[in-house]
């Protein structure tokens, strides 16, 4: 295969076209949401790859298509390196190449496999589309996974997203590829069928009723301190940051005292360990309400990114340690050795070479009225499998995050969109407290019912939305879509073998 790739160079003009089409495809992601433009570019991309003169050239085109797509859709990735530019800015050129084209290897393999399996233009379009969907599913799992900006995410801000309760983000991606492949494989007259499919799903999703609230719902306060990431860990400002959190927690609200107050990820500028005075101070600000705080803790030689639920007596009633960590952000692979030999450490962590992973997905029993919540810390909200791994079905999802790492242009909006998708997939409301925003109350249909705008210090009190019945995706995950895709691959392979016989 390597020889075929090396000998299949399609020329810079075609690679530039592929890169440009990939960038246009990315325009469907948040905050732009140009899904029609994105699908049109996907149609052109499938035609471009399927018309390549060899599987090797198709692979190169797939690589550069992904390069354009991920360069734009993941442009926020440079923001963490600008927090301390004097230390990290030199890495930006490498990241802008390595991440888009590293993820592009999935698309290159998809283009090569789909082209190689197909016999003729029509079957190659279908093959590339099927393998592209398989590649998008795979990158959510391989090497801890990174399913950010999946092709199907272009639908999150539309009623079509409601179908994710049936087939998840993988199904939305398959739907996108189907819409793009129909005119590419069978001619432009098939655009009518694509339009009918979109209108049908839009109408169905728009007509779904909103969840019905109980008569006396629990009230939850989300606190957004808006702490500047560059100053967040400055010891001279730690007390001021804590005071801001306490004041927002103590403030009077229009709905009376909340039942639970939620602070964002690592919002407490002190360690949890042996800090009884701090816990009593937080409990006092809660005035009888439990306070769920994002905080760091140390156990032995290990550090953890945690959520601690503090009760009215100032005790840690519930504790959750983040288990799906960000590679190179929260830990360095083989971190102990890397720290000892090279002094490398994960820049999101203030503890040595990085955080240690918690034991796994959990459900927190928050007591009468509040029920059971699945806790997620930041990045964990992009993984639907983490929610499905919880030991029992919860009543709602609790996410704390620090999206200050993502800047203000695209990252926070894409992260919020994925949280909305998790709510739809699970049929559960999701409440997220973000350091700089966007903090939001999301109902079980993925609709934002209350929020705090990006970049302000504030709180919002809202009734806890009710859950829906467990939808199919929450029960079966990606298996139905995966089996369907494998069945199509089997059919294409059978057709190829018959043609050769």
Three-class SS state of 296? strand
Three-class SS state of 442? strand
Q: What are phi and psi of 117, to 5 degrees?
A: -80, -30
Active site residue 380: no
Sign, CA dihedral 80-85-88-91, equals positive
Neighbours of 54 (CB within 10 A): 16
- How far is Cα 467 from Cα 374, in angstroms, rounded to an integer? 13
Neighbours of 431 (CB within 10 A): 27
The H-or-E segment that residue 166 falls in is helix 164-186
Instruction: Tokens for 382, please give them.
Output: 């992009």
The DSSP bridge partners found for residue 401 are: 434
Pick the catalytic residue from 30, 232, 378, 425: 378
Pick the catalytic residue from 30, 136, 265, 425: 265
Pick the catalytic residue from 30, 79, 232, 322: 322
Give me the residue label for tokens 């299949």. 8
The DSSP bridge partners found for residue 219 are: 463
- How far is Cα 14 from Cα 63, in angstroms, rounded to an integer? 12
R_g of the chain computed on alpha carbons: 24
- How far is Cα 31 from Cα 405, in angstroms, rounded to an integer? 17
Active site residue 86: no
Helices (H) and strands (E) in the chain, counts: 16, 12
- How far is Cα 383 from Cα 456, in angstroms, rounded to an integer? 28
Contacts of 21 (CB under 8 A, 6+ apart): 41, 44, 45, 48, 65, 68
Active site residue 322: yes
Query: What are the catalytic residues?
Result: 265, 322, 378
């Amino acid at each position: 295969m390597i020889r075929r790739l090396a000998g299949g160079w399609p020329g810079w003009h075609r690679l530039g076209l592929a890169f440009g089409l990939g960038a246009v495809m990315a325009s469907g992601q948040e905050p732009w949401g140009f899904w029609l433009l994105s699908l049109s570019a996907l149609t052109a991309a499938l035609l471009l790859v399927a018309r390549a003169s060899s599987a090797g050239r198709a692979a190169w085109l797939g690589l550069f298509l992904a390069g354009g797509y991920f360069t734009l859709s993941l442009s926020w990735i440079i923001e963490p390196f600008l927090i301390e530019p004097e230390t990290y800015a030199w890495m930006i050129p490498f990241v802008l190449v390595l991440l888009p084209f590293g993820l592009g290897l999935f698309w290159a393999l998809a283009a090569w496999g789909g082209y190689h399996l197909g016999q003729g233009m029509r079957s190659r379009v279908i093959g590339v589309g099927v393998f592209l969907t398989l590649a998008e599913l795979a990158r959510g799992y391989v090497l801890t996974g990174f399913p950010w900006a999946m092709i199907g995410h272009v639908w999150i801000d539309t009623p079509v997203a409601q179908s994710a309760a049936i087939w998840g983000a993988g199904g939305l991606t398959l739907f996108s590829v189907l819409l793009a492949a129909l005119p590419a494989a069978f001619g432009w007259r098939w655009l009518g069928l694509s339009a009918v499919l979109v209108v049908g799903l839009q109408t169905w999703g728009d007509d779904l009723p909103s969840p019905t609230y109980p008569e006396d719902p629990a009230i939850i306060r989300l606190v957004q301190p808006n702490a500047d990431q560059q100053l967040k860990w400055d010891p001279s400002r730690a007390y001021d940051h804590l005071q801001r959190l306490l004041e927002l927690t103590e403030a009077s609200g229009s709905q009376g005292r909340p039942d639970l107050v939620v602070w964002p990820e690592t919002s407490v500028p002190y360690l949890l360990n042996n800090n009884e005075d701090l816990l009593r101070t937080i409990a006092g600000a809660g005035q009888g309400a439990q306070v769920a705080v994002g905080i760091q803790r140390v156990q032995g030689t290990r550090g953890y990114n945690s959520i601690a639920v503090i009760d009215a007596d100032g005790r840690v009633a519930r504790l959750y340690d983040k288990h799906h960590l960000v590679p190179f952000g929260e830990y360095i692979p083989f971190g102990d050795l890397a720290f000892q030999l090279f002094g490398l450490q994960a820049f999101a962590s203030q503890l040595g070479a990085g955080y240690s992973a918690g034991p796994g997905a959990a459900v927190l029993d928050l007591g009468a009225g509040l029920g059971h919540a699945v806790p997620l810390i930041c990045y964990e909200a992009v993984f639907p499998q983490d929610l499905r791994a919880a030991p029992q079905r919860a009543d709602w999802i609790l996410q704390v995050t620090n999206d200050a790492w993502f800047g203000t242009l695209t990252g926070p909006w894409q992260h919020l969109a994925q949280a909305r998708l998790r709510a739809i997939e699970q049929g559960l409301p999701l409440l997220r407290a973000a350091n700089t925003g966007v903090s939001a109350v999301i109902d079980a249909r993925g609709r934002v019912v209350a929020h705090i705008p990006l970049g302000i210090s504030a709180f919002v009190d809202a009734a806890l939305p009710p859950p829906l019945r467990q939808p199919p995706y929450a029960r079966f995950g990606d298996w139905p879509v995966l089996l369907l895709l494998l069945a199509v691959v089997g059919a294409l392979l059978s057709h190829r073998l018959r043609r050769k016989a």
